[in-house]
Every structure is written in C-alpha cells, then in structure tokens.
Amino acid sequence: TDSESEEGEQGSESEQLVIGFSQVGAESEWRTANTKSIQNAITDAGHELKFSDAQQKQENQIKAIRSFITQKVDAIVFSPVVETGFETVLQEAKDADIPVFLADRSVDVEDDSLWVTFLGSDFVEEGRKAGNWLVEELAEEEGPVNIVELQGTVGSAPAIDRKEGFEEIINQEDKFEIIKSQTGDFTRAKGKEVMEAFLKSDGENIDVLYAHNDDMAIGAIQAIEEFGLIPAEDITIIGVDAVKGAFEAMADGKMNVTIECNPLFGPQLVDLIEQHFEGESLDKRIAVEESMYTMDQAEELLPTREY
C-alpha cells in the first residue's frame, strides 16, 4: 500500500553524502581489504565517494584533504599515515565545517574537537597479545631469548603502539631481549630486505621474529629460507593482522601465530557517519573487535577467512 511505501522511504531516508576518503596506501594485504571494505560500504549505502591513495606519504594526504575541502565534500574519512603534523589541515576542515572521521589510525593532536570519532583497533593491546603469546610459548625456555623486530611505518600509530604493548609484556622477564629493531614499512619487500640484514649480522642467534604485520613476516620467511634456516622452527615467527597470507604460511608450518586486526569495518564506519548526520553524538573512540590465531587452527579456518 501507499502508506507502507512511504514508511519504507522514510526508514531509509538518510541524506545522500559526498564523502572524501584519504587512504594510507596499498602497502599490505590488510590495507587492500580495508580500502575495499570502506569504498564498498560508502557506495553501497548510496553515497558518493571521492578516493585518494596517499602512497604512504603524509604530504599526499595533506594535499588530498585540502582538495576535499575545496570540493566542499560533506564528510572526510581519513586514515593518517603518521600520528603527528596534521593540526593545520584538520583545523582547515573544521573551519570549513566538514566533519572528519578517523578510520584505522589515530592522530596525535591536542584539540580533539578536530575530528568526530576514531574507529580503529587497539594496537597496544595487539602488541600485548603478541607478547603474552610469546611468554607462554617459551615458558620452559631458560633464555636468553633473542628477538628481532620488524617495525611498521616510522611514526605510525600501529608501529608505535604495537612496539609499546609488546615491550610492556616481555620486559617483565629478563630472559627476553630485542637485539635488533628496524622498520620494514609494513611491506613484504622491505620486510624481506631488513630480515636479510638481521640474518647477516645475527644469523643463528635469532630466536624470535616479531613483525608488526603479516606482510613483513611473510617477506622475512622468504629471507630465512634463503639463508638456510627453517622458519617457525629455528626462528619463532609472530605477525599481526591475520590476513590470508598468514593463514597460508601457518598452514604450511612456516609461521607460528598472528594477532588479528580486522580491516572490514567499512559498514560500521558508514553507520557512524550517518548517525552523525542524523544528529547523534558519537563516542570519541570506537574499537574494532578481534582475536588471535595459531598454526594448529590455520588449516581449518583458512577457508572461512574473508581477508
């Protein structure tokens, strides 16, 4: 009936928005899944998307946001490459009355009125999970346990926080030591290259690799094999993200554990944007729920993984 269809229209009445999305880059499997999830959620909800890939460079993001402001978009979705240095451009967005939604990574600015809400994972907690897994796994080991660390992009929230959470846990026991720590920029190629250098200088002395994401761990696994050591046996391998590539590596017995970081929050993000435009006030910090997975679960879970 007429009245029903009117009701139906009212129910889905939310405003059609033009949304500018400044993404970090395409550095990892996680990132490609995240980009798709956000892009699809925006267009599936009937909004118009303006997309910009920063190729892991802050200056590109600042330019993209300025261009969104000039184009008078309704809202800006922003995943900052690094934490600092965004005050000016965020103030420009605020002055133009354009709400900014932080997705995935946060910024380190004093004035938190510069964005509406931050939807992302708790990276410190992920680091703690990695540390706790290791402490338990090597409980019988006397030590010293020599750890090498592949950090994410320098200055990025996940690199800073995953390091902090992991250290908080392993520093509670004297036997653990991080003997080398360097950035692999969240990419396979860089992860492999830096692991090669670690192996060259410390080779057989390395007991554990803690990689801030799976892509770097996967690159490192290749380096370890080429060096003549057995990944997950000679060197315990910890990654973060829980992407398909990590499940494949674990199913092959080449990687020990991955801490989940869920990139598929596009629909949740679009809900938040719509709620904001409907006049609701949002929490400043909204977390994505996640878990962790070990080698023995990999084969069973692999077919169910969506990213």
Residues that bind ligand GYE (CB under 6 A): 27-28, 30-31, 104-105, 158, 186, 213, 215, 240-241, 261
Q: How far is the CB of 30 from ligand GYE (least distance, A)?
A: 4
Question: CB of 263 within 8 A of CB of 34?
Answer: yes
Q: Whole-number minimum distance, CB 245 to ligand GYE, in Å?
A: 11
CB of 121 to ligand GYE, least distance (A): 6
Minimum CB distance to ligand GYE smaller for 117 or for 146: 117
Cis peptide bond upstream of 144, omega within 30: yes
Question: Whole-angstrom Cα distance, residue 26 to residue 187?
Answer: 9
- Closer residue to ligand GYE in complex, CB, 29/207: 29
**Angstrom distance (rounded) from CA 52 to CA 50:** 7
Q: How far is the CB of 57 from ligand GYE (least distance, A)?
A: 14
Nearer to ligand GYE among residue 105 and residue 128 (C-beta): 105
Question: What tokens does 170 get?
Answer: 């392993």
Choose between 149 and 241: whose C-beta lies nearer to ligand GYE.
Answer: 241
* Size of the chain in residues: 307
Smallest distance from the beta carbon of 291 to ligand GYE, in angstroms?
Answer: 15
Contacts of 49 by beta carbon, 8 Å cutoff, 6+ apart: 19, 21, 39, 42, 43
Give the nearer residue to ligand GYE in terms of CB position, either 105 or 192: 105
Shortest distance, CB of residue 186 to ligand GYE, whole angstroms?
A: 4
Query: In the complex with ligand GYE, which residue's Cβ is closer, 69 or 292?
Result: 292
Least distance to ligand GYE, CB of residue 165, Å? 13
Count of helix runs (H) and strand runs (E) in the chain: 11, 12
Going from the C-alpha of 275 to that of each of 20, 51, 283, the distances in angstroms are 17, 22, 11
Q: List CB contacts of 23: < 8 A, sequence separation 6 or more.
A: 31, 34, 35, 38, 51, 52, 53, 54, 79
Q: What is the DSSP string of 223-272?
A: HHHHHT--BTTTBEEEEEE--HHHHHHHHTT---EEEE-----HHHHHHH
* Min CB(243)–ligand GYE separation in Å: 8
Nearer to ligand GYE, 149 or 215 (CB): 215
Interacting residues of 181 by C-beta distance below 8 A, sequence separation 6+ = 148, 149, 151, 163
Nearer to ligand GYE, 30 or 198 (CB): 30
Rounded to whole angstroms, the Cα distance separating 214 from 241 reads 6
